[in-house]
Structure 1
Amino acid sequence: MYSTFKRILIGKPRKSADIEGEKLGKLKALAVLSSDALSSVAYGTEQILLVLIAAGAAALWYSVPISMAVLGLLVILIISYRQTIFAYPSGGGAYIVAKDNLGRAPSLVAGGSLLVDYILTVAVSSSAGTDAITSAFPSLHEHRIAIALVMIIFLTIMNLRGVTESATVLAVPIYLFVVAIFVLIISGVFHYVVYGGGAAASHLEAAASNVSLFLVLKAFSSGCSALTGVEAVSNAIPNFRDPAPRNAAATLMMMGIILGSMFIGISLLAFWYGVRPSATETVISQIAATTFGRSTMYYLIQGATALILFLAANTAYSAFPLLAFMLAKDKFMPHMFMVRGDRLGYSNGIIFLSVMSAVLVIAFHGNTENLIPLYAVGVFIPFTLSQLGMMLRWLKHKPAGWTVKLAINTVGMLTTMSITLIFIFTKFSQVWVVFIFLPIVLYLFTQINRHYNNTAEQLRVNLDSELVIKGNTVIIPVAGLTKVVANTISYAKTISDQVVAVYVGFDDESIAKMERKWERWNPGIRLVTIKSSYRSIIGPLRKFIDTVQWKKGKEDHITVVIPQFVTKHWWENILHNQTSLLIRAYLINYKDVIVTTVPFHLNK
């Protein structure tokens, strides 16, 4: 039943040889890896306005120069990450750059920040998509958490089906959003030229005297949330078809041009129309309503916006598993993140990402505004470390034209570092959690790495040493004389000549009865009976094993062979004692004891 349900959800397993078929071309990669960055158009301008409105409507004029500054930073980041793509064609982005140039600690900070950022990406995207839906249908506002969780489940299933399949399905709504926004911008500009807009421009003089530098910097840092997701292309270069670096660079440039054009267009329209941030209606909803009214086109734009906000999470589903794979390969995350699933994707990474993001959505009650500052800080820390790492790389290797490359990354590093500091100082009340959560993540990385190193050290075989063959003493816990016990004794005799059965009784009568039956049956092995005054089976059995170990020392292995019958139907297990499972669970952690189970299957 489970297997059938799994096949329906994610499809038939694929051969390892089909991995090349999972590579992406530029257009599909643009849809999958740029959805996060492109979706930020839906809330980037709004985040600027939310800060400026604190100084009054007149202050909204500053949204235009702030948006221009954000656009300038976008250009710097696109050029910088294009250099990273060609310098590190194996992917990994900030983590690999920091690892190669800055060392272990900075690389773990970059990797940990990005992992947290991708989890926040899914949470923010699903929450923001829900906001777009509830703007058009206010009656659904009370169900925003359930809507967000349903979308996370949908994206999880799509990505478990494979990269190419999810790209094919998800590319349509993403390109629909791009077309819809450009239609909105062009129509909005035409509407403004013909009919005029709001009164925002008339407040220029008042705005200049009412807004502090602190507020402008805070608004700028909020607007920089529109740049999250820019790094995803450099992280996921292995997902591209050959020549992967060239295709990745072209995709990055296309993303930058589209993102920059849409962001500045929405910011200008918001200013021209005098749009003010609202708790119940998004900025894009207000612009579309002013331009088209509550017409079919309005609902088409809202629908496309909701879709892109939901699907922005797909960038994280592409990048998180790859980054988790690289960290697991370096022994900083569990090795399960290195395993490919039935459809050749890193399924464990996908599922882990979904679970953690769902927890965040529930914890923050689907409130996008509370999540975005954490989201932005999580990505600007790796931005800064990546730029610094590239600076050191150019200084170390000095390839042709390295001075220009160094200058680009220097400007990028200083800018992203400044924005990170602005975020911390202006929104500390919202981002302080990063300073607790990130050290915990780094601590987990180091503990996992220590465990793997210790395990490797203890398991490593000296190829020059001679293998020592030990004997084997087999102990069989028995509860009575049954075919299950007979089957287990038959097996035990094939692995050792030293086999002993142990019966733990609770009173003298049951012990005497067992001894008489055993003597009559005579299976060819000795029976040891133990009386348990406290009705415990595991305690007396453990003491007996200790006695055997003390007598044998290190000369023999001690193997506990547990008889167990398996019912025909799973629910029938509830009707029986699970003593064998308890014994196995306890002894599996018992030092120098081998535990094995011999199943006996019931036919009816």
Structure 2
Amino acid sequence: MRNHLPAPHGTGLANGLPDELSTDVLPGGGLPETFGFKLKRKLLGPPLVNEQMSEQRLSRPLALGVLSCDGISSAAYGTEEILIELVPIVGLAAFTLILPMTLLVLAGIALVVLSYREVVSVYTRAGGSYVVARENFGPRVAQVAAVALLIDYVVTVAVQVAAGSAAIVSAFPQLGNIPVIGSNILTVTSVIAVLIMCYGNLRGIREAGRSFALPTYLFSGSVALMIIAGLFRELFGGGLPHVGAYPGPAFPIGHSTQGLLSFGMIYMLARAFANGGSSLTGIEAVSNAVGALRPPEGRNARQILVTQGSIVAFLIAGISWLAHITHAIPYLAGYPTVLAQEANVVFGSGAHFMYFVVQAATALILFTGGNTSFSGFPYLASFVAGDSFLPRWLTKRGHRLALSNGIIVLTVVSLALLIAVGANVNGLIPFYAIGVFTGFTMAGFGMAKYHKRVKERGWRRRRIINVTAAVYTAIVVAIFAIVKFTEGAWLIVIVFPVLVFLLIRLNREYRMESEVLENIGGRRAAGIPPRQPNYSRRVVLIFVDDVDLATFAAIRYARGLRPTTLRAVHFVIDGDRAQQLHEKWIRFGQDIPLEMIDTPDRRLTRASLELVSREAAAKSTQVTVVLPRRGYSPLLGRLLHDRTADKMAEVISQVPDAAATIIPFDVEGRVHLLHARHAASLAAQAGESEPAATVRAKDGQQAAAAGTVTLNGSGGPPAERAPGVSAIGELSTARKVTVEGKVSAISIHPVENSCVFEAAVTDHTGVLTAKFYGRTSIPGFEPGVRVRLAGKVSVRETGSFMINPAYELLARGEQGE
């Protein structure tokens, strides 16, 4: 069935759309804010503009507190993780073996610190092991380091938060008796903590603050005091007693009699060593933020690394020695922790308040250490996305200038991991170390290659240090992958190469697109003009499913294309509905033909492809398909839309000389607007001037509360103008003037054999276009910059403009004197 149904003459619709539907602007001149933006503004605060981004350089003491919290906090659980593997096998002998196992861990700390001293000496930009691998092995191999670091950040959040929750519950074990959630108190506490971190970082919390340095010094000082007090009591106070029993099941005490060289014992020691390796995590954080330090960045970073490593080594050695003396046993529930038991014994009843200080400091530094990932993960993801190995939406800043997409991704993945393992630190360790130590390995081997290539002074010694550290950490990775395979490491072993492959695969897509653009640019540079199709016939088809406001909007848009042929098309899959559509089409008086195409198999994409292909096959014909779509809120739209228009547009766009345009239309918002206008019109006709004024005032208040967007996007009060500076909105005649404003947009347009550089300059009153002929760019002229323009202004219906004005770049926020 194929019918052309012209509508009768005498239509009452202008351009296919009622006049009152021709604008989207509210009567007061403001744009209505969406519910999502209002909610975001309420929760996160007003949006920040790019000028409010600032860089804060960190002094050494402040940087030590801010950047070392992740590394130093790992001392809180390193010893306990070793005992978890030793106690169930060798029993009380674990408290003897803990000392040599700790020495192995301390050797690893020394090697990693020495290795990263070389990294921060050479690479003073952000990126750490990723930059080292990229510069020395190439961008593809560097994705191994990228995946390692991304996994490290995710698991760091989970481990630190779970350990911090254990510290809280250790101090207040009554929390485990809360009805319903008591048995899962660690998980509940951890989830709440992660959500708070997510919310705070979305609001724009910055790590470079004194409040983030305080937990590092408080934890280091309180635990160091505990170790010194314990040493004093052991030497001069009659010795420390063993830890007493606590409620709840502890790890069973084993009675193995195997020799140290038996296979079972070696396997157990390897597992204990792997667990203790978690104490090395976070040491590399300084290398990811060298650029945030005060000059000289490299020297300051080296000193901070050595200081951090010394503190970590002292705390781990002291906590392990106290465990050796007090026989603190880890518990299955995760609390009380070994550190909490030691603090309780050392401080006793005489200074019991220090027990709570240690627990508070432990919880604070662990939560703060977890929060560092909310800065590191988004920035690393943005860095990798900038290299085209991750989706580019990870580079976008959000409402409060934070990298919101990266923060949300980190929150979702870390919460899933926490819930999956029940916020148990020992259950998270298998996921932890593979990513961390792979990054260490890549940095070590990368620096070894750098030293061999550059051969600077002392390069052989430096190369030996880096190779030794790389081999050590590679051995830890292998041990983890083997001894922790069945406990969760298998997931990382499988996911790791898959993620690397996906990153490289995504980069290939980006590179192919870039090569196409480069070819086009090369042809332009060679003087080869682009093919200019000369269409003598332009056909516009409007696919119609109903006669509604969205259809009228599509018709109005289609008429604006000025086609040689314009017609509406309906694919008939229901005869009764097609007849109703026909009657409505005639009733609303459309003056364009409606074509009905029978589609018995209901394959709309194929029917549309066949129709467009036939039309485009004609010589010198261009076909444009206009697809109206009713707009809804994002959530409701996902439920109500079946993406038919998107599917049609996808296949149509593959036809040569054809294009598809989807016209979204907010029916609900437009109906509310028309209803308000109609009510205001009735009120005016009835002479109800006072109530109408009240309604307008109320609308203005609501617009102000919603943060109505002003012309310069600041939403703030107008700035005072300097003498001699005119308001752009008050320019009505051609004359010489001086104006000031912010560059809101720039563009370049070809003009015959030259080009014109255009900049839209706005103040609180209007917009002026500055045109610079023969220019493709002006240094410093970019969106967001304030400028002062002087010259002759011309005023047209399309707006005000200046041609080749004199200009002055102003400092951000500067006003003329």
TM-score normalized by the length of structure 2 = 0.67
CA distance in 1, matches of 2:330, 2:577: 80
How far apart are residue 150 of structure 1 and its match?
0.8
Partner of 1:37: 71
Counterpart pick for 1:443 among 481, 494, 501: 501
How far apart are residue 89 of structure 1 and its match?
1.4
Partner of 1:98: 133
Conservation of the 8 A alpha-carbon contact between 1:61 and 1:207: no
The structure-2 alpha-carbon separation of the partners of 1:62 and 1:546, relative to structure 1 and needing over 3 Å to count, comes to: same
Partner of 1:85: 120
Q: Cα deviation per residue 1:109-139 (whole Å; 9 max; x = unaligned)?
A: 2221121111111111121122222223334
Partner of 2:542: 476
Counterpart pick for 1:490 among 546, 556, 560: 556
How far apart are residue 503 of structure 1 and its match?
3.2
Partner of 2:382: 325
Partner of 2:324: 271
Q: Find out whether 1:562 has 2:617 as its counterpart.
A: no
SS at match of 2:124: coil
How many residues align? The count is 591
The structure-2 alpha-carbon separation of the partners of 1:82 and 1:163, relative to structure 1 and needing over 3 Å to count, comes to: farther
The structure-2 alpha-carbon separation of the partners of 1:398 and 1:209, relative to structure 1 and needing over 3 Å to count, comes to: same
How far apart are residue 108 of structure 1 and its match?
1.8
CA distance in 2, matches of 1:571, 1:238: 40
SS at match of 1:56: helix
How far apart are residue 436 of structure 1 and its match?
0.8
Q: Which has the higher helix share?
A: 1
CA distance in 1, matches of 2:267, 2:546: 80
- Which structure exhibits the higher relative contact order, with contacts defined as CA atoms closer than 8 Å and separated by 6 or more residues? 1
CA distance in 1, matches of 2:158, 2:608: 54
Q: Which has the higher strand share?
A: 2
Q: Find out whether 1:231 has 2:276 as its counterpart.
A: no
How far apart are residue 149 of structure 1 and its match?
0.9
Counterpart pick for 2:239 among 182, 193, 196: 196
* Higher-Rg member (1/2): 2
CA distance in 2, matches of 1:208, 1:298: 38
Conservation of the 8 A alpha-carbon contact between 1:508 and 1:531: no
Unaligned runs of 5+ in 1: 201-205
The structure-2 alpha-carbon separation of the partners of 1:110 and 1:86, relative to structure 1 and needing over 3 Å to count, comes to: same
Partner of 1:401: 458
Partner of 1:526: 593
How far apart are residue 151 of structure 1 and its match?
0.7
How far apart are residue 375 of structure 1 and its match?
0.5
Q: Which amino acid in 1 is paired with 2:100?
A: P
Conservation of the 8 A alpha-carbon contact between 1:473 and 1:496: no
Q: Which amino acid in 2 is paired with 1:455?
A: E
Counterpart pick for 1:21 among 27, 39, 55: 55
CA distance in 2, matches of 1:168, 1:3: 32
Bigger mean CA offset, 235-244 vs 187-196: 235-244
The structure-2 alpha-carbon separation of the partners of 1:159 and 1:257, relative to structure 1 and needing over 3 Å to count, comes to: farther
Conservation of the 8 A alpha-carbon contact between 2:444 and 2:470: yes
Conservation of the 8 A alpha-carbon contact between 1:62 and 1:216: no
Conservation of the 8 A alpha-carbon contact between 1:321 and 1:350: yes
Partner of 2:567: 500
Conservation of the 8 A alpha-carbon contact between 2:162 and 2:425: yes
CA distance in 2, matches of 1:121, 1:158: 18
Counterpart pick for 1:221 among 256, 271, 274: 274
Partner of 1:262: 315
Q: Which residues in structure 2 correspond to 1:451-466 (within 5 Å)? A: 451-458=509-516, 461=520, 462-463=523-524, 464-466=528-530
Q: Cα deviation per residue 1:461-513 (whole Å; 9 max; x = unaligned)?
A: 34223242456422223355555544432321111322211234566666566
Conservation of the 8 A alpha-carbon contact between 2:608 and 2:648: no
CA distance in 2, matches of 1:166, 1:160: 16
The structure-2 alpha-carbon separation of the partners of 1:183 and 1:530, relative to structure 1 and needing over 3 Å to count, comes to: same
The structure-2 alpha-carbon separation of the partners of 1:530 and 1:380, relative to structure 1 and needing over 3 Å to count, comes to: same
The structure-2 alpha-carbon separation of the partners of 1:34 and 1:6, relative to structure 1 and needing over 3 Å to count, comes to: farther
TM-score normalized by the length of structure 1 = 0.88
Counterpart pick for 2:646 among 578, 585, 588: 585
Conservation of the 8 A alpha-carbon contact between 2:627 and 2:660: no
Q: Which residues in structure 2 correspond to 1:379-398 (within 5 Å)? A: 379-398=436-455
The structure-2 alpha-carbon separation of the partners of 1:573 and 1:224, relative to structure 1 and needing over 3 Å to count, comes to: closer
SS at match of 2:355: helix
Q: Cα deviation per residue 1:538-576 (whole Å; 9 max; x = unaligned)?
A: x35751452232232384443332345668xx69989xx
Counterpart pick for 1:185 among 227, 230, 235: 227
Q: Which amino acid in 1 is paired with 2:473?
A: T
Q: Which amino acid in 2 is paired with 1:195?
A: G
The structure-2 alpha-carbon separation of the partners of 1:68 and 1:529, relative to structure 1 and needing over 3 Å to count, comes to: same
The structure-2 alpha-carbon separation of the partners of 1:296 and 1:451, relative to structure 1 and needing over 3 Å to count, comes to: same
Q: Which amino acid in 2 is paired with 1:38?
A: I
CA distance in 2, matches of 1:479, 1:216: 71
How far apart are residue 228 of structure 1 and its match?
0.6
Conservation of the 8 A alpha-carbon contact between 2:58 and 2:208: no
Q: Cα deviation per residue 1:338-388 (whole Å; 9 max; x = unaligned)?
A: 223343332222211111111111111212112113201221122112111
Q: Cα deviation per residue 1:394-426 (whole Å; 9 max; x = unaligned)?
A: 111101221221222122223222333333343
How far apart are residue 64 of structure 1 and its match?
1.6
SS at match of 1:162: coil
Q: Find out whether 1:56 has 2:122 as its counterpart.
A: no
CA distance in 2, matches of 1:425, 1:328: 32
CA distance in 1, matches of 2:576, 2:196: 62
Counterpart pick for 2:191 among 134, 144, 149: 149
Conservation of the 8 A alpha-carbon contact between 2:102 and 2:317: yes
CA distance in 1, matches of 2:450, 2:421: 40
Partner of 1:415: 472
How far apart are residue 175 of structure 1 and its match?
2.8
Q: Cα deviation per residue 1:51-70 (whole Å; 9 max; x = unaligned)?
A: 22221202321212222232
SS at match of 1:312: helix
Conservation of the 8 A alpha-carbon contact between 1:36 and 1:229: yes
CA distance in 2, matches of 1:80, 1:541: 60
SS at match of 1:47: helix
Conservation of the 8 A alpha-carbon contact between 2:605 and 2:647: no
Q: Which residues in structure 2 correspond to 1:534-545 (within 5 Å)? A: 539-540=603-604, 543-545=607-609
Unaligned runs of 5+ in 2: 1-34, 177-182, 244-255, 654-658, 676-817
The alignment-based identity, stated in percent, is: 33
How far apart are residue 589 of structure 1 and its match?
2.4
CA RMSD of aligned residues (A): 3.1
Partner of 1:203: none
SS at match of 1:501: strand
